[in-house]
Amino acid sequence: MKTKVLIADDHAVVRRGLKDILIDEFDIESVKEASNGKEVLEELRKNAFDIVVLDLNLPDRNGYDLLIDLKQKYPKLPILILSFHPEDQFALRLLKAGASGYINKQSAPEELLIAIRKVVSGGKYVSSSLAEKLAFSLVTDTQKLPHETLSAREYQVMCLIASGKPVKDIAQVLCLSLKTVSTYRARILDKMEMENNAELTHYAIKNKLVD
């Protein structure tokens, strides 16, 4: 069966590299490209795809929000997340939000091909290292760390706060109101039993949640 692919990444070199890999290894009917969230939605309105390979960081849309939007509009569409973010920080949250798989951009091309084949066939893909971590956490029933009690949105806000972004910038990045971001901040501090942004930042750096 010929495969129709949409590659969404803001770097032309990355899109070209992925396209070349796919054309060499798959029976491709078409490969379309999008450099931002708006173009992703436009392509999906015009064409049907077997898979979307989606970068988590697009210039006009937060990747998590775009994933939620796409799964609401196209619930059966397989979406493989491709990102520089460490998989143990984001993969599980994105899978819960509807992603069919998560792969780090530093992975070998062979792993990308395995992931795409798995996702196109209707399966879910995580790397062997992440699968091992998930299995180990289930077996040991380890008590959750404070940040693991946060919702996906709360986790996003926490990481942005810990990265030093002011509320105004966070609101702009996530397309939220200042009041909503402040509400999330208060909820995060309450859940994690912390008093201020400095404590959040210290915790996030200690646990390697931010660079």
Q: Same structural domain for residues 112 and 193?
A: no
Among 72, 106, 135, the domain-final residue is 135
119-134 pLDDT, tens per residue?
999 999 988 777 776 6
Which residues make Cβ contacts (< 8 Å) with residue 48, sequence separation at least 6? 4
Structural domain harbouring 108:
3-135
Q: Same structural domain for residues 10 and 113?
A: yes
Q: Provide DSSP, 124-182.
A: -B--HHHHHHHHHHHHHTPPPPGGGGS-HHHHHHHHHHHTT--HHHHHHHHT--HHHHH
Query: How crowded is residue 53: how many other Cβ atoms within 10 Å of its Cβ?
Result: 27
Among 95, 112, 135, the domain-final residue is 135
Q: What is the pTM of this model?
A: 0.69
Q: How does pLDDT run along the chain (211 residues), one tens digit per residue? A: 689 999 999 999 999 999 999 888 888 889 999 999 999 999 999 999 999 999 988 888 878 889 989 999 999 999 999 888 777 667 877 888 899 999 988 888 888 899 999 999 999 998 877 777 666 655 554 567 888 888 888 888 999 999 999 999 999 888 889 999 999 999 999 999 999 999 999 999 988 888 6
- Where residue 200 sits, what CATH number does that domain have? 1.10.10.10
User: Does residue 211 belong to any structural domain of this protein?
Assistant: no
* Residue 52 parent element (H or E): strand 51-55
- Where residue 82 sits, what CATH number does that domain have? 3.40.50.2300
CA distance 49 to 35: 17
Query: Tokens standing for 49?
Result: 């795809």
